[in-house]
Amino acid sequence: MDICVVALGKIGLPLAVQFASKGHRVVGADVNAAVVDLVNRGEEPFPGEAHLGEKLREVVAAGLLSATTNTADAVSRSETVVLVVPLFVDGEGTPDFGWMDDATAAVARGLRPGTLVSYETTLPVGTTRNRWAPMLEEGSGLRAGEDFSLVFSPERVLTGRVFADLRRYPKLVGGTDRASAERGIAFYEAVLDFDEREDLPRPNGVWDLGSAEAAELAKLAETTYRDVNIGLANQFARYAGSIGVDVDLVIDACNSQPYSHIHRPGIAVGGHCIPVYPRLYLWNDPEATVVRAAREANAAMPSYAVDLLAAAQGDLTGVPVLVLGAAYRGGVKETAFSGVFPLVEELRRRGATPYVSDPMYDVAELEALGLPAHRGEDVAAAVVQADHAEYRSLTPADLPGVEVLVDGRRVTDPAAWASRRRVVIGA
């Protein structure tokens, strides 16, 4: 097949490489000329994705993957178009479709009869049928379901392990009509491989959800569930801390029973997915009080962590505090909705002098993000914000002068910090 993948980001590029690794001819379209140039040279434009570097070099060298900034032209030469363009949400939870609208308009300009179009970006329910179908029809003069096929098939992978997740999780497909669904199913069966899993109610593979709306809701539901679960864990942790109980022991005990699946509490919920998709769900269903309460509970955790620091340290006015970790999670060089931003803001609000360090970012990169980079200044306290593997071996010798450590991820060794005040969430 000839395939076009629109947007060569941290999901789109591994997808393009996966499709090409199955022997298909793939063109990746992206508005960033620097990314396009790197891909055409077989060089990965971002670090941290397992096996991407070697797989990218192989498919580019084989002539199976190339990149371009001309989306319409790439679409005009393709049988299938897969869009993985970012969708943003503002502080009120309103989706910003700007980038996706632009990409859809470009796809429409190149769309030809017989093409399958698949949206993988997580969307509010109804978007594929009610927004993208009319835009594609207007821009191309073609009719969805008659002249071209249209499906929604959400990406369900985690940055850093995309190739493994593509094999492990069923690929969900929902068409805007029956024929479109069948085209979508056939496409994904041709470009993906699946691990055998005995724990699923039906064989692992491509699953037909029956409609685009069902597939859209499935992605919102599975990610919103995680936010709600973490919100509940955080509330358990805050109460456990108030009564001197270790919430980790409690959660371990609960999860020993097969009907309990409590997640772990933490200082922040970050990334492109879990903080965002519940707000997309609330945009569809504003009366979902449980979802709204969980989102508010999770958003309050950075401030709660500063409460714990103040309780252990005392007045924070003028106190230099080092925030360990700018990334939203360990091992990933990404700050989307990272807890570092509200944490720094709250420390400043309390009068502290915050600094930030991260093993994956240099000083210039941190400052470009608007963060106060640590340049070796003396600090009196530290807060672990990201669970980087490097912090597991952290000791007081690494942070001279630090008398209080708030470990918001429970990643440090309690024994190593026995001589200092180490505070965790939920104990």
219 as an active site residue: the answer is yes
List the catalytic residue out of 10, 55, 219, 333: 219
**DSSP of 6-39:** E--STTHHHHHHHHHHTT-EEEEE-S-HHHHHHH
Picking from 256, 255, 264, 259, the residue whose alpha carbon sits closest to that of residue 232 is 264
The full DSSP string for 274-302 is TTTHHHHHHHH-TT-HHHHHHHHHHHTHH
CA count, 13 A, side-chain hemisphere, 222:
14
Residue with tokens 């009907």: 259
Q: How many CA atoms lie within 13 A of 67 on its CB side?
A: 28
Tokens 């496409």: give the residue: 187
Give, in degrees to the nearest 5, the angle at Cα 408 between 406 and 412.
75
Q: Which of 48, 44, 45, 55 is nearest to 18 (CA)?
A: 55
CB proximity list for 210: less than 8 A, separation 6 or greater? 174, 181
The catalytic site residues sit at 219, 273
